[in-house]
């Protein structure tokens, strides 16, 4: 049991809770955990989300069309933190450098290496004479429906390919084909490290074929191993396209698109007011990592996607990243350019950067290394230099702000679960003034400057610890015990008033000699009082003897 000081008594909590329970959050809603569905979905949309989530983690069989060359057998293998989020898996891109420009390796149809195969004889290899080799780590697909819904015009409006304002940030729109509408004209890319994909459905079709070898209506032909079509003919055991409609009429790529479309926006805690965000803006990070986006109120969108304000921290444009260049060209995205990564849910990201080179250590160590890596050349160089010139305190405030991106409300220890540790933290913050930069701000959900009944009500909604409430006081028993350990005198985690075996003083599941010794040693006192009379006496002895043996 923690010895964290209790600022208020259980009686104070119960008084506080009367208002809390009547407020029921005061109209405030909890931010969903990363990986949760978008808020406001209909029952049918939620069913599509859940089915899509299952298929996102389900590999097709070889007979159904997996391979013959692939990187992973299912989407979740790469998008794993949480399901649909970041991953630590890397893939390899390769090619040749000729006269300072990237070209695909002779015979290859793309730069992506498929590292796995359905048999050793079908495996693709990395050519020994490839002069350009780069790793790519898995991006997140959280809230892809929100990103997909952003109007093309809004992305285009931020473009400044000639750096007309002279701030050193050029920002180029990457216009690409739409796989599901090849005759509809080019659209701004927004998905992928090089903004090489324009729509969510295109992303699903492209990734399903390239990463799983699962051909579909958007990409109906296989990748030949190292460009060898004769070998492909020998290895491919399923007819193309391999992705066929299920009994409900949906294909695999439609199902996983449903899941990604309806993934909710990750939390940000505190939501506003941190000094670190002002510093983020001051050093120029916000010139590329644009915070605020809004989806249109378009009747063609699901209602839950319409008119949504989203803090994404990206401009979806290509930027020259100088020494972070990967040497790979994709479409009109050259060897030095990357799309500005989204920062929502950054707190959970490990590894970082496009190739995963920054991994392990603390969040502060990782994110500091990433910021410094934006210089000394390229469009991020000025921001990297400005960051380096900050005081240590200012750097710490900026890092704290970045760690708020993806932090769950009430999650004091960044565990991703709201439990008794977080409650101790919550209660230690009672009766004090709270500013957005304070650690206690993780609990001040209504940003009022102090903990109030609304905050406690929301904490109870967020509680992910043991849910038992055997005394029906609307508080989990673990919280009751945390505030008053005497309510669980034997330390078994069950309120004494609810115990079905009160004579089992040592909590070993049986009334035996050990319990008798405890009772006799406490005779006349109150420490081993079984019947609640306040004194250990003959009544307690009689109750123990009548319960002798294993607890029911």
The first and second tokens of residue 19, run together, are 């208002």
What pLDDT does residue 5 have?
39
Q: What is the pLDDT of residue 335?
A: 97
Residue with tokens 């916000």: 286
Residues in CB range of 360: below 8 A, 6 or more apart: 350, 351, 366
**DSSP state letter for 310:** E
**What tokens appear for 439 in the block?**
């650690």
Query: What's the confidence (pLDDT) of residue 24?
Result: 52
Could you check whether the bond before residue 164 is cis, i.e. omega within 30 degrees of 0? no
- For 463, half-sphere exposure in the C-beta direction (CA atoms, 13 angstrom radius) is 22
C-alpha triplet 509, 511, 515: angle, nearest 5°: 110
**HEC states along 419-466?**
CHHHHHHHHHCCCCCCCCCCHHHHCCCCCCCCCCHHHHHHHHHHCCCC
* Distance of alpha carbon 444 from alpha carbon 455, whole angstroms: 6
Phi and psi torsions of 445, nearest 5°: -70, -30
Cβ neighbourhood burial of 98 (10 Å; 0-12, 13-18, 19+): exposed
Distance between CA atoms of residues 284 and 274, nearest Å: 16
Q: In the chain, which residues have pLDDT < 70?
A: 1-27, 552
CB 371 within 8 A of CB 402: no
Half-sphere exposure of 180 (CA within 13 A, CB side): 12
Radius of gyration for the chain, computed over Cα atoms and rounded to the nearest angstrom: 29
Q: What's residue 7's pLDDT?
A: 43
* Phi-psi sector, 449: left (phi>0), alpha (psi -120 to 50), beta: left
Task: Output the pLDDT for position 386.
Answer: 98
What number of other Cβ atoms are within 10 A of residue 525's Cβ?
Answer: 11
DSSP-assigned letters across all residues of 192-232: STT--B-SHHHHHHHHHHHHH----SSS-SPPPGGG-HHHH
Closest CA to 139 of 80, 209, 94, 200: 80
Model pLDDT, residue 425: 95
What are the phi and psi torsion angles at 485 (to 5°)?
-60, -20
What is the DSSP annotation of 359-406? Answer: -SS-HHHHHHHHHHTT-SSSTTHHHHHHHHTS-HHHHHHHHHHHHTBT
**Cis omega (within 30 of 0) for bond into 411:** no
Over 126-143, what HEC string results? CCCCCCEEEEEECCCCCC
Give pLDDT tens digits for 63-72: 999 999 999 9
What the chain holds in terms of domains, given with CATH numbers, is: 43-311 (no CATH), 500-550 (1.10.1330.10)
pLDDT single digits (tens) 141-170: 999 999 999 999 999 999 999 999 899 999
pLDDT value, residue 486: 84
pLDDT tens, residue by residue, 77-91: 999 999 999 999 999
Residue 290: CB partners within 8 Å, gap ≥ 6?
Answer: 158, 312, 313, 314, 315
- Among 188, 445, 200, 404, which residue's Cα sits nearest to residue 317? 188
| Sequence-separated (6 or more) residues with CB below 8 Å from residue 43 | none
CA separation, residue 484 to residues 174, 374, 523, 527 (Å): 61, 52, 23, 15
Q: CB under 8 Å, gap of 24 or more: what pairs does 544-550 form?
A: 544/503, 544/511, 544/515, 544/516, 544/519, 547/501, 547/502, 547/503, 547/504, 547/511, 548/511, 548/512, 549/510, 549/511, 549/512, 550/509, 550/510
The CA distance from 425 to 2, in Å, is 11
Q: Which letter, b or e, does each residue of 347-385 get, where b requires 16 or more Cβ atoms within 10 Å of its Cβ?
A: bbbbbbbbbbebeeeebeebbbebbebbbeebbbbbbbe
């Amino acid at each position: 049991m923690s010895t964290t000081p209790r600022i208020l008594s259980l009686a104070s909590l119960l008084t506080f809770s009367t208002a809390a329970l009547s407020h029921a959050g005061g109209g405030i809603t909890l931010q969903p955990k990363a990986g949760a569905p978008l808020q406001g979905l209909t029952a049918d949309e939620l069913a599509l989300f859940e089915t899509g989530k299952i298929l996102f983690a389900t590999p097709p069989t070889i007979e159904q069309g997996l391979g013959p060359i692939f990187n992973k057998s299912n989407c979740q293998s790469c998008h794993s933190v949480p399901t649909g989020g970041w991953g630590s898996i890397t893939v390899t891109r390769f090619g040749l450098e000729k006269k300072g420009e990237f070209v695909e390796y002779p015979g290859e149809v793309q730069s992506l290496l498929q590292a796995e195969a359905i048999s050793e004889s079908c495996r693709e290899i990395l050519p020994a004479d490839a002069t350009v080799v780069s790793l790519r780590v898995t991006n997140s697909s959280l809230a892809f429906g929100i990103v997909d819904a952003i109007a093309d015009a809004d992305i285009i409006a931020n473009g400044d390919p000639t750096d007309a304002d002279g701030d050193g940030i050029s920002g180029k729109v990457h216009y690409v084909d739409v796989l599901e509408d090849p005759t509809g004209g080019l659209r701004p890319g927004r998905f992928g490290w090089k903004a090489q994909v324009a729509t969510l459905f295109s992303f699903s079709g492209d990734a399903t074929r390239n990463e799983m070898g699962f051909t579909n209506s958007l990409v109906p032909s296989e990748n030949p191993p190292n460009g060898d079509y004769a070998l492909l003919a020998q290895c491919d055991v399923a007819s193309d396209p391999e992705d066929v409609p299920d009994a409900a009429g949906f294909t695999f790529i439609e199902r996983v698109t449903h899941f990604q479309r309806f993934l909710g926006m990750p939390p940000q805690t505190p939501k506003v007011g941190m000094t670190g965000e002002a510093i983020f803006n001051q050093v120029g990070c916000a010139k590329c990592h644009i915070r605020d986006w809004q989806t249109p109120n378009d009747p063609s969108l699901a209602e839950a996607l319409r008119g949504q304000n989203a803090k994404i921290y990206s401009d979806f444009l290509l930027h020259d990243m100088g020494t972070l260049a990967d040497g790979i060209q994709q479409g009109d995205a050259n060897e030095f350019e990357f799309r500005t990564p989204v920062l929502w849910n950054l707190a959970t990201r490990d590894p970082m950067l496009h190739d995963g080179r920054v991994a392990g250590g603390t969040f502060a160590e990782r994110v500091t290394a990433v910021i410094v890596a934006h210089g000394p050349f390229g469009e991020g160089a000025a921001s990297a230099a400005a960051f380096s010139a900050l005081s240590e305190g200012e750097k710490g405030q900026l890092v704290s702000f970045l760690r708020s991106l993806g932090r769950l409300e009430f999650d004091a220890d960044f565990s991703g679960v709201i439990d008794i540790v977080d409650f101790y933290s919550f209660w230690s913050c009672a009766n004090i003034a709270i500013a957005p930069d304070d650690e206690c701000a993780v609990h001040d959900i209504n940003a009022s400057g102090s903990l109030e009944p609304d905050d406690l009500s929301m904490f109870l909604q967020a509680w992910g610890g043991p849910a038992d409430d055997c005394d029906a006081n609307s508080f989990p028993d673990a919280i009751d015990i945390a505030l008053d350990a005497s309510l669980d005198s034997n330390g078994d985690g069950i309120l004494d008033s609810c115990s079905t075996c009160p004579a089992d003083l040592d909590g070993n599941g049986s009334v035996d000699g050990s319990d008798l010794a405890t009772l006799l040693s406490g005779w006349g006192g109150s420490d081993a009082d079984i019947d609640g009379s306040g004194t250990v006496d003959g009544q307690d002895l009689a109750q123990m003897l009548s319960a002798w043996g294993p607890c029911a």
